[in-house]
Structures are given as C-alpha cells and as structure tokens.
Amino acid sequence: MFVQTHCHSPPLQSASLANKVFIQRDYSEGTVCKFHTKLPSELDSRIEKTLFEDTVKTLNNYYAEAEKIGGHAYLEGCLACITAYLIFLCMETRYEKVLKKISRYIQEQNEKIYAPRGLLITDPIERGMRVIEISIYEDRSSSGSSTSSSTTSSSGR
C-alpha cells in the first residue's frame, strides 16, 4: 500500500527516542528474577504509578512462576536426569513456556497502555534478564510538514 501523508498529519510520524529508563533487578530475595517496582522519576509525568507497578508486579509473578521450585520442577528435573537430560533437546521446558507468556503480556501492555503514552517496554530477555528497558519517546513538530499534499491511497496488491 502506498500512502502519502496529509499536511496536517499528527506528530506521531516524527516521534523520536528521547530517553531510556532501566528498571534494575531486585536481589533482596536472592537470585530469583525480580525487578524493582518503584516508578522512576523520569516516568512520573508519563504514566500512573499504579499502572506501572501492576506491570512490574505481574512480570515478577511470571518470573516467580517460571523459577518456582515445586512438584512440577522436580518431576521435570528427575525425568531429565533419568534420560541424561536429552529431553531438553526435544521438549519445551516450563521456563520457556512462561517466557512466551511474558512476551505476550509485554506486547499487550505496550499496545494498550505504554504506546499510547509514548513509552515502550523491552522484554527483559532481550537485555540478559538484567533490566527492564523502557524507552521514552517524544513527538517533535515536523518542520517539513508545512508542505501540503493531498491524501491518496491505493492498494498495491
């Protein structure tokens, strides 16, 4: 599809990355994957504290679920040991399943909550599970948008 912008296009198209905020890991309970829930000062004016805290707490719960040492983990571990850990080559582990859930959740949060506020959460797995990277975008007024052009669209298929 080939689309041209209108001269009074919204400032979305000239959004630029302004800053990145990194939510660090919380090691108070050991090496389990957990992030600080405190809203950074850079995001104070961007997003409500409760929304942010909910997001991080949900992520923490997901990671706790993935790393939970319980019956299911023991069963998986014992079965793996008996098979000389060959099942890891053909079976999706519980951790991987939860990582998929986390990825879907982050995608959903970005679409519903963060993108409308000019923010973007990067999945922690992309940063070595060290930080939650939140990109802050600013709209800048486009100086070139004064050129007027009609809006046309045509299907390229």
Partner 1 sequence: MKNCEYQQIDPLALGTPASTPTSTQCAKNKSHRPRRKWEVFPGRNRFYCDGRIIVARQCGVLPLTLGLIVVTSVLFFIFDCPFLVTHLTICIPVVAGVLFLFVVITLLQTSFTDPGILPRALPEEVTNTERQIDNSGSVTYRPPPRTKEIIINGEVVKLKYCFTCKMFRPPRTSHCSLCDNCVERFDHHCPWVGNCVGKRNYRFFYTFIVSLSFLTSFILGCVITHLTLRSQGDKGFLQALQESPASVVELVVCFFSIWSTLGLSGFHTYLVASNLTTNEDIKGSWSTKRGEESGNPYSYNGIFRNCCAVLCGPMPPSLIDRRGFLPPDVIPRTVASGSELHPFMAKNDTNMCTQAPKKLLETVAHSSLVHSTCTSATPKTALVTQEFPFNSVSSMLSPSNTTQVPLPAARDNRRSTPWTRPAVREGITQKGMLDAYKYQVS
Tell me which residues in 42-101 interact with partner 1 (CB under 8 A).
66-69, 73-74, 76-78, 80-81, 84-86, 88, 92-96, 99-100
Q: Give min distance, CB of 53 to partner 1, in A.
A: 20
Among 38, 41, 125, 132, which residue interacts with partner 1 (rule: CB under 8 A)?
A: 125
Over the range 129-154, which residues count as b (16 or more CB within 10 Å of their CB) and which as e? eebbbbebbeeeeeeebeeeeeeeee
Q: Give min distance, CB of 43 to partner 1, in A.
A: 13
Beta partners for residue 136, in sequence order? 19, 119
Q: Give min distance, CB of 38 to partner 1, in A.
A: 13
Instruction: Indicate the burial class of 126 (C-beta count within 10 angstroms; 0-12, 13-18, 19 or more).
Output: exposed
Q: What part of residues 103-122 is at the interface with partner 1 (CB under 8 A)? A: 103-104, 107, 110-112, 115-120, 122
The residue among 54 and 65 lying less far from partner 1, judged by its C-beta, is 65
Full strand arrangement of the beta sheet holding 119-122: 15-24, 131-139, 119-122
Determine the distance from the C-alpha atom of residue 67 to the mean position of all C-alpha atoms in its chain, rounded to a whole number. 19
Q: How many residues bind partner 1 (CB under 8 A)?
A: 85
Does 41 engage in binding with partner 1 (CB under 8 A)? no
Q: Give min distance, CB of 109 to partner 1, in A.
A: 11
Cα 79 to Cα 155: distance, rounded to the nearest angstrom: 55
The residue among 33 and 56 lying less far from partner 1, judged by its C-beta, is 33
What is the separation, in whole angstroms, between the first and last Cα of the chain?
A: 7
